[in-house]
Each structure stands twice: as C-alpha cells, then as structure tokens.
Structure 1
C-alpha cells in the first residue's frame, strides 16, 4: 500500500506545474508614458554646456525611481525627451544599426548620450580646470598641498607623573552593540583606527541624535584630566557676532571631517586607545573628545586661511 501511494503521489506531482512567484503585472505602455508626461521632464536639445547631460540624466532617473518604471519603458520615455540636434543624432545613429535598437537598455542609452555630448576628454578638462580654480591667489590644488604642508602631528602632553588609565567597557543594549560593530568596521576601513595593545583604554558610549541615529563617543574624561591644556585662544561667540554685523549673506562649511586629517604623533597614539566588546583599538588621527582638539584644529585653519582673515 505504501509503494502504491508513493507512485500515485509522484504521478500527480509530475503532472502539476511547478510553483513560482507571481509575475509583476504588465502595465500598458500608454499608461506608463502618460504617467511619465505628468512629471514634465526636461527636454534634451544636444546643445550648450556638456554638463547639462548629467543633470538631464539625473532628473530622468529620479522620475523613473518615483514611478518604479521598468527598464524597457525608460528607454521609450527618454527618447520622447530628445529634440532638435539630439533627436537628429539619435535617429541617424540607429538608422545605421537596423535591428539593434530593440535591444537598447537604459544603461546603454545613457552611455551613448554621454559619449556623444559629454565625452571623456571634456570631463578630464573640467576636472583640470576645477583643480586650477582660483580663490584669492591660490588654486584648489594649491590649497590641498597647503593643507598637507601645514598639517602638524597632534600631540597629547601629560602632566608629570601621569600613568595609563584603563576603564572597563560600558554595558550596551543589543541595538547599540550592532551600531558599535558597524562603526568600528567603518573606522577600520577608512584607516582612522587600528588594533591596539596599549595599557590605556577609554570606554565607548552612544548618544542619540535628533534624527534618532546614534553617535559613537569615546569617554576621554580621564585622559583629559591628565592632559596639559593648550593655551591657543579660541574666539568668543560675542566677538564672532560683532564681525557679522551688517552682513546679509552667510556661508557655512562642515569641517568635521577635517579633524580626521590631523595625524597623531606616533608616541601618543597609544593614549587614544579605547576598549569595546569587539576589541581594543587606537586612533591614528585626531578624534573628537580630546581637550586640546578644538584649539589645535582652529590653529590649523587660521594658519591655512590667514591671508583671508577678516576679508569676507
């Protein structure tokens, strides 16, 4: 009986079609095109500044992403936006390649348009011009070299008789441990930290930011108590506001990443060590949280931009 049941079961299994995921519903081309037209995408004329090519492509990609537009319809919609010289070139290109147009993908279309209207040699020239761009008396490339030349090694000078301080890691919630592991891997990838065998060891904690994400902080309070403070004068907030009197337009720049361009003196790297559940690490570039870090960073910025102080 058992063998008979097996034979019957196998027979019906062979006759039944295999289970598969339901296909994505096919939306008629006319509906896709009508939806696309509602977004009023920019036309591409094939004339003027070659950099317009990337702006046009980025605008289309944003629309396609919002529409969740299939790839085969992206080519059709993009062709509708070609006009004037671009339309003439597109038609002429495919007239010499009969039968190949049906296989053209969105990636291929972007590649062809960039080759025609934003060629590699022009992009290289734009990059060269950017590096030669003048701000005052220096180019971007010259500013970069000046940053490298003036970047001093950040040192951590301790009061006489101070010895290593090591703290046990703080307890963390599972979500914090997951974030800690990810941020350590990112710092290792960027080369900002390295494994350590230092007798020093600060603890790590997380601070919740306004956007609900978490910022990893190193508790350097014990190290800061033993550090000789830098006497570089930081500007008073009141003085800064006085300098802005009468101004109408203000600019800003995020210089947080600049901290990680200041290398720590090799003999002081061990003092930045911190302990975690996933290992013992030390910074090779200046981290946030050290008592002298703001003064050293401000000093570097003033040395680099000294010719332009009080001019803007």
Structure 2
C-alpha cells in the first residue's frame, strides 16, 4: 500500500513561512530533496498558540483569550498513519509522576531540544516521510512531528536511556525531565548524573 498526495494550495501570505522552514531544515540536515518516493504527504500551516491572556471586549468585559505566537508548518500524515502498524508503548500518567515529585522538597526541570528530531529514521524508511510543498518534495532523516508512533518511540528511547534513574531520582515524560532530591546537595548530584547521561548519549537539551 502506498499513497501519493498532491500539494495543497497555500495562502500566499504563508508561502514564505514554509520556505523559511524548509531552508532551516535543509541547513540542519534534517530533511533532503527526494523525487521518487511512493509515499507523499501534503504540507499545511496552522497557527502556533501560546498561553492564555485576558483582553477586554467591546462591552469592556475581560475575556480569556489564547495568544497566537506565529505559524507552525505541519505534515498531514493521516494516510501514512492509517497504514502504519501501531506501537502501543505506554506513556506515563502525569498525576502519578506529580505525586512522586511532590514527595521531594528539591527539584529542577530540563527540556529536550527539538525532541523528536533527535531520533534518527532508518534509511530504508525515510522515503515514507516524504512531503510536498511549493518548493519541492523532501524526506526526513529525523523523526518528524505527526507520525502516529512518534510519541511512543520517543518515550521508549528516553526510558532506555534513563531506565536506572526513573522513579528514583527523576521522572520522564517525552522530552520533559524532572530531577529531584531530598536535599539541595542530593538534587544537584542527581542533576549531574542526568546531565552526564545526556552527554554520553548525545541527548541535547534546551538552555532555558
């Protein structure tokens, strides 16, 4: 089973958003041009939503409103996902993680940089991620957002990397890491262990 979809018509005002994203991914080596894939999915652009703010309406009433911080370029992988054998690796329950975290007075948080992009795709499967846009067709070398098995794959990798630390000195939910301890010194020591593990496995973190 394969599926080749045509590109979707983009709002002219959004073409530059797509072009800049393509150039950025090409420059980082995350995507590459491809012309003969049997799987092609279309690009679409959605609003990137931020936090909640409060604004006044015409009646001078305060209304909670979600801010818009820009645009996000996405790939519509629905047809590819429909043909994909599903990975049922479990994701953690956030409430249970918070309960364990609440039992410790000292904690800190780390955030993985461009989470999914840190997972390489096997060369034989890269062409399946091919997408089409006004500037050509491209495939991913790294796991993109939108694949149905991406969350399970990423969580499995993180569990493998930190298996001996999880539920003892840290919690992991996708690319969000919580490190804790019963004292400042122990929390700092645990943080050092986590950072050393990241360095050993080439796992990149955000600065802030």
Q: Is the aligned partner of 1:215 residue 2:72?
A: yes
Provide, for residues 215-264 of structure 1, a one-character-per-residue CA deviation record: whole Å limited to 9, x for no partner: 11111111111111112111122322322233444422222423212111
Scaled by the length of structure 1, what TM-score is found?
0.46
Whole-Å Cα distance in 2 between the matches of residues 222 and 236 of structure 1?
29
Provide, for residues 188-232 of structure 1, a one-character-per-residue CA deviation record: whole Å limited to 9, x for no partner: 000000011212111111121234311111111111111111121
Structure with greater proportional strand content: 2
Unpaired runs of 5+ residues, structure 2, are 51-67, 170-208
Decide which of 173, 176, 182 is 2:11's aligned counterpart: 173
Alpha carbons of structure 1 residues 291 and 256: separation in structure 2 relative to 1, 3 Å: farther
SS at structure 2 position matched to 1:251: strand
Q: Is the aligned partner of 1:205 residue 2:44?
A: yes
Q: Is the aligned partner of 1:191 residue 2:48?
A: no
Aligned length: 150
> Equivalent residues in 2 for 1:13-52 (5 A)?
none
Q: Which residue does 1:259 correspond to in 2?
A: 116
| RMSD over aligned Cα atoms | 1.6
Whole-Å Cα distance in 2 between the matches of residues 291 and 269 of structure 1?
15
Whole-Å Cα distance in 1 between the matches of residues 148 and 113 of structure 2?
16
SS at structure 1 position matched to 2:109: coil
Unpaired runs of 5+ residues, structure 1, are 1-162
Higher relative contact order (CA 8 A, sep 6+): 2
